[in-house]
Amino acid sequence: MTAESILSPEIKRVLITGGAGFIGGCLVRRLLRNTDVDVFNLDKIGYASDLSSIENISVSNRHHLLRVDLKDAVETAKALEISNPDLVMHLAAESHVDRSIDSPIGFLESNIFGTYNLLEAVRSHWDNLSPERKKRFRFHHISTDEVFGSLGSKGRFNEKSQYDPRSPYSATKASSDHLVNAWHHTFGLPVVLTNCSNNFGPWQFPEKLIPVVILKAVNLQPIPIYGDGLNVRDWLYVEDHVDALLLVANKGQVGQNYCVGGYGERTNKLVVENICNLLDKYRHSSAPHDRLITYVKDRPGHDQRYAIDSTRITSELGWEPKYNFEEGLEKTIIWYLNNLEWCAKVRENANYYGRRIGTVGL
Ligand code: NAD
Ligand code: TYD
């Protein structure tokens, strides 16, 4: 399924927030490649941002960067005036749990106040649209399964799961979900929400599990597994997430949330072992890579298990992931091995070289 077939032809101008990040970048590239919409990319260009994946695309005259921090209400309102969108897809957020443990304030500012400023700017834009544009306008809020807390060994999150966020990151994402729902119920803003599981794939800033492990192994450094390595995440290849986002943005029911997961449940230990095995294949001179695995102190408040039941988005909208975990992982590893210079560049820009973060209280 391509964006072409799922974005309705009336949608000409799309505002993406966080389009210089990992998932937003994948979405922006898809829109530039497969549609003829104008993409307005609102991003503060923070430590995890990088535009090189977008700059490579030749049709970038339809890509308009708006370097704005959502903390700034005036600049955010201006961005809505400039972009004059038919659709807003809100991905901008501080996104790393470990960083939220070290310094929660930036998460409150971006994820809660930033979403509030955006909602107010969008509401004013929507109020002033012609009846025809108003009818088809959507605000799509992109959220995470982490708002539902931590599962035991059984069950999966679905759209009826109770909110129970437990990290500063997930608490701020839950707050933003509540704000979005409140703007729908109180002001009538036509919103759709998605709550997705852990994404992986090319161009992910190397601070999250999969790129961290690849780079540690390539550099023959200890590979850190937090705690006993038995925490479970439900991994989804980023292109599959983008398919889901475009479907929901275009065809989702207003006021509805959709859970998106990859049926890719794995313990962290298994994920790390899979990466080591694939690296043995592609870099056999330094095999076995699993000798580098090191168990380190657990993350404070570490959620045990996430898993998603994607029945609603599959039955209502026909979404299914195209990549299984092994296929996605192999593609990802090959990409990182071919893009080690990019990794070095983004690490240097962020002044982050893989040190352990998020250990406050340990
Ligand atoms: P990312 O950290 O790679 O990118 C986030 C982008 O948002 C960055 O470019 C950053 O500069 C921008 N941003 C942050 N605060 C901003 C602000 N105040 N103003 C303007 N721009 C700001 O994150 P990602 O992994 O691409 O995640 C994107 C979204 O998807 C987030 O909302 C996240 O909560 C959600 N999500 C992520 C995952 C995952 O596994 N990565 C899973 C489910 C949901
Ligand atoms: P992460 O990629 O940070 O995503 P999230 O915390 O949002 O799920 O972490 C995924 C899992 O991997 C999580 O259980 C923490 C664990 N982890 C490690 O064991 N070692 C690491 O170096 C990192 C970054 C994460």
The per-residue pLDDT for range 39-65, each reduced to its tens digit, is: 999 999 999 999 999 987 866 699 999
DSSP letter string, 80-142 = HHHH--SEEEE------HHHHHH-THHHIIIIIIHHHHHHHHHHHHHHTS-HHHHHH-EEEEE
pTM of structure: 0.98
Q: Separation of 132 CA from ligand 1 center, angstroms?
A: 31
Is the minimum distance from the CB of 25 to ligand 1 under 6 angstroms?
A: no
Residue 7 DSSP label: S
Closest ligand 1 atom number to CA of residue 71: 18
Q: Separation of 228 CA from ligand 1 center, angstroms?
A: 28
Specify the 3-state DSSP secondary structure of 150.
coil
For 155-181, what is each residue's pLDDT tens digit? 999 999 999 999 999 999 999 999 999
How many CB atoms lie under 10 A from the CB of residue 5? 11
Q: Which residues pair with 14 in a beta bridge?
A: 39, 87
Fold category of 10-200+235-263+306-323 in CATH: Rossmann fold (3.40.50)
Q: CA–CA separation, 57 vs 356, rounded Å?
A: 34
Q: Separation of 25 CA from ligand 1 center, angstroms?
A: 10
Q: Which of 38, 43, 50, 145 is catalytic?
A: 145
How many CB atoms lie under 10 A from the CB of residue 21? 25
Q: CA–CA separation, 38 vs 101, rounded Å?
A: 37
To which residue do tokens 């101008």 refer?
13
Does the pLDDT value for residue 5 go beyond 90? no
Split at pLDDT 50, 70, 90, the class of 205 is: very high
Q: Interhelix angle for 325-338 vs 209-218, to 10°?
A: 50
Domain ranges of the chain: 10-200+235-263+306-323
Is the minimum distance from the CB of 43 to ligand 1 under 6 angstroms?
A: yes
Is the minimum distance from the CB of 97 to ligand 2 under 6 angstroms?
A: yes
pLDDT of residue 360: 83
Q: Is 146 an annotated catalytic residue?
A: yes
Mutate to test the pocket of ligand 1, among 17, 95, 349 (most ligand atoms within 8 A of CB): 95
Closest ligand 1 atom number to CA of residue 114: 18
Closest ligand 2 atom number to CA of residue 303: 14
Q: CA–CA separation, 195 vs 257, rounded Å?
A: 7
Q: Which residues pair with 260 in a beta bridge?
A: 196
- Using the CB atoms, write b or e for 240-276: b if 16+ within 10 Å: bbbbbbbbbbbebeeebbbbbbbbbbbbbbebbbbbb
Is the minimum distance from the CB of 225 to ligand 2 under 6 angstroms?
A: yes
